[in-house]
């Protein structure tokens, strides 16, 4: 049972509304609020009214596992949800379950990449389907590290074919998400339901393919688009995981030209501006319908994008461009802009939402509420922990971000230690430098005390084999989809003869 901090009836608690807005593959270093080139007046507007966390991270830089851990507040190895084809167990409570138990109406619009038959995970309603499949077809295979799943792995087509288009699969999806999210906020403004609400609006941009509409492309001077700060690194000088990722995404077979790189980065920035427009539409609805003073707004992303840095693209890495994300929290009581350098992460979202709703954080959650940090005062004791268990790995990869350090460890790959104060581009691995022997030893000991790499490795491989078996079977004979199909109640929409026209017209105004 969800426990309220004050022990009262959840329906009698004063609980603000919550709007959680997510982008997909939005790297914090590209945002103007972090000194980047993206043109984002609405993200900047939200940042000016709330608290911006300058050191926010994805704990697992891949779409589905990042969302699973965000919703559950638990590391992926604890809940058995490892990659983009791992089932998110229905028995794992999410922030939507907790908020709903505490009296909230909970709604999801857009992408959440749920895998498995449960496509709600605590949300009372879901207004769109997902953009990605809900079955086990995208299961990786660590026992075949050189193999490629060409029908679903990333490849370099998104880079070499980048440019302008009026419509694409991704744009179709986000156009619908934006429309449905705006309409849902308007419905909430005129509902007779007295419960507080929690709405998640989750967009798939600026995720590749790097194709943008002319309107947003034209916001940028093509020749001024910045090129990667750190260029391609020779295989002999790079870490084993990065070498594997180049194979996973096909970058070892296709090297884009400088013009193709610039075009892809141009389209990516244009799509950041496209997401920014959708965020602005949602903020405008809150303002027009006098809901802003009763609503907490959180803006974040599931992970970042290397976008050509180090010759890498997309995510799946613990370099900052792939795993550092935006995190803005605006509350009704926020008076002005605050920035906080405290290390926070997606694991902190669930405890934060529960804190907002007046709910005690369960001990099983691995994150902590960000609410005590909204005044801007840093907490130097907080750290971010992460684990990557998806394609491109051959064994678990663990990360700890504490103070000035980022430490990455994997048994077959060895360790990496970066000092982000003196080396923000992460070009110098300090492992092997005698000056940092004690720091490396302490981090290594912490990894081995936090995790059991051998057991996690065995669990992941067993899950991969089991899911591959299930997937092969379910592709034979009659196919039954797990993908979510939004319901439509057309018989009770707009005007029907069993309704009173006067009631319909008056009741739909706001």
* Per-block mean pLDDT, blocks of 10 residues, the chain (510 long): 53 78 98 97 96 98 98 98 97 98 97 97 97 96 88 89 96 98 96 94 97 98 96 80 94 94 98 98 97 96 97 97 98 81 98 97 97 93 97 97 98 97 96 97 98 98 98 94 90 80 73
Angle 41-49/258-288 helices, nearest 10 degrees?
50
Residue 13 zone, left/alpha/beta (φ > 0; ψ -120 to 50; rest): beta
Distance CA 146, CA 469 (A): 20
Confidence at residue 10, expressed as pLDDT on a 0 to 100 scale: 39
Question: Is 261 a domain residue?
Answer: yes
Distance CA 357, CA 189 (A): 19
- Based on the residue annotation, tell me whether 63 is a catalytic residue of this protein: yes
Distance CA 480, CA 465 (A): 21
Which domain range does residue 77 map to? 15-387+470-507
Question: Is 418 a domain residue?
Answer: no
Question: Is 240 a domain residue?
Answer: yes
Residue listed under structure tokens 């902190």 = 348
Distance CA 211, CA 415 (A): 36
Q: Give the domain CATH number at 160.
A: 3.40.720.10
**Beta strands per DSSP E along 192-280:** 197-206, 211-212
Distance CA 282, CA 509 (A): 18
- Based on the residue annotation, tell me whether 323 is a catalytic residue of this protein: no
Q: Give me the residues paired with residue 240 across strands.
A: none
Question: Is 7 a domain residue?
Answer: no
Distance CA 297, CA 302 (A): 16
Residue listed under structure tokens 């461009």 = 321
> How many domains in the chain?
1
pTM score: 0.95
Confidence at residue 336, expressed as pLDDT on a 0 to 100 scale: 64
Question: Is 429 a domain residue?
Answer: no
* Catalytic entry in 63, 97, 98, 205: 63
Confidence at residue 14, expressed as pLDDT on a 0 to 100 scale: 81
Confidence at residue 496, expressed as pLDDT on a 0 to 100 scale: 83
Question: Is 433 a domain residue?
Answer: no
Confidence at residue 232, expressed as pLDDT on a 0 to 100 scale: 78
* Catalytic entry in 97, 98, 113, 241: 113
Question: Is 350 a domain residue?
Answer: yes
Question: Is 456 a domain residue?
Answer: no
Q: Quick one: how far is CA 400 from the chain centroid?
A: 19
Contact present, 353 and 99 (Cβ < 8 Å): yes
Confidence at residue 11, expressed as pLDDT on a 0 to 100 scale: 37
């Amino acid at each position: 049972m969800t426990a309220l901090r004050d022990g009262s009836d959840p329906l009698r608690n004063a609980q603000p509304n919550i709007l959680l807005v997510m982008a997909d593959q939005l790297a914090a270093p590209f945002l103007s609020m972090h000194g980047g080139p993206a043109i984002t007046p609405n993200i900047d507007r939200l940042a000016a009214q709330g608290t911006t966390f300058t050191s926010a991270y994805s704990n697992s830089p891949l779409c589905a596992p990042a969302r699973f851990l965000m919703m559950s507040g638990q590391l992926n190895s604890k809940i058995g949800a490892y990659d983009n084809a791992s089932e998110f167990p229905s028995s794992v409570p999410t922030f939507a379950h907790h908020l709903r138990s505490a009296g909230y109406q909970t709604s999801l619009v857009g992408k959440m990449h749920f895998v498995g038959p449960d496509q709600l995970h605590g949300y009372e309603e879901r207004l769109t389907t997902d953009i990605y499949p809900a079955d086990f077809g995208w299961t990786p295979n660590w026992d075949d590290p050189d193999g490629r799943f060409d029908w679903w792995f990333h490849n370099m087509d998104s880079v070499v074919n980048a440019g302008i288009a009026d419509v694409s699969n991704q744009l179709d999806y986000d156009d619908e998400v934006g429309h449905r999210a705006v309409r849902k906020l308007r419905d909430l403004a005129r509902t007779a339901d007295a419960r507080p609400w929690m709405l998640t609006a989750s967009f798939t941009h600026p995720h590749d393919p790097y194709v943008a509409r002319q309107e947003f492309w034209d916001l940028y001077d093509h020749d001024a688009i910045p090129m990667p700060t750190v260029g391609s690194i020779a295989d002999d000088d790079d870490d084993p995981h990065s070498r594997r990722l180049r194979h996973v995404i096909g970058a070892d077979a296709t090297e884009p030209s400088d013009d193709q790189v610039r075009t892809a980065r141009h389209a990516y920035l244009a799509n950041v501006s496209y997401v920014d427009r959708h965020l602005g539409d949602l903020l405008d609805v809150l303002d027009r319908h006098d809901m802003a003073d009763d609503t907490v707004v959180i803006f974040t992303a599931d992970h970042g994008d290397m976008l050509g840095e180090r010759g890498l693209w997309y995510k799946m890495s613990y370099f900052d461009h792939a795993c550092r994300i935006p995190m803005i929290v605006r509350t009704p009581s926020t008076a002005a802009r605050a920035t906080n350098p405290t290390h926070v992460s997606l694991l902190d979202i669930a405890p934060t939402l529960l804190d907002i709703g007046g709910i005690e954080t369960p001990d099983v959650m691995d994150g902590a509420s960000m609410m005590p940090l909204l005044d801007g005062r840093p907490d130097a004791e907080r750290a971010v922990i992460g684990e990557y268990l998806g394609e491109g790995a051959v064994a678990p990869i663990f990360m700890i971000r504490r103070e000035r350090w980022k430490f990455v460890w994997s048994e077959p790959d060895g360790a990496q230690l970066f000092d982000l104060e003196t080396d923000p581009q992460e070009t110098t691995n300090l492992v092997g430098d005698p000056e940092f022997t004690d720091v490396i030893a302490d981090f290594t000991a912490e990894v081995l005390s936090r995790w059991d790499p051998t057991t996690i490795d065995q669990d992941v491989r067993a899950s991969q084999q089991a899911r591959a078996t299930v997937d092969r079977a379910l592709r034979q004979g009659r196919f039954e989809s797990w993908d979510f199909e939004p319901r439509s109640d057309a018989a009770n929409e707009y005007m029907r003869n069993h309704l009173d026209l006067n009631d319909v017209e008056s009741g739909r105004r706001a």
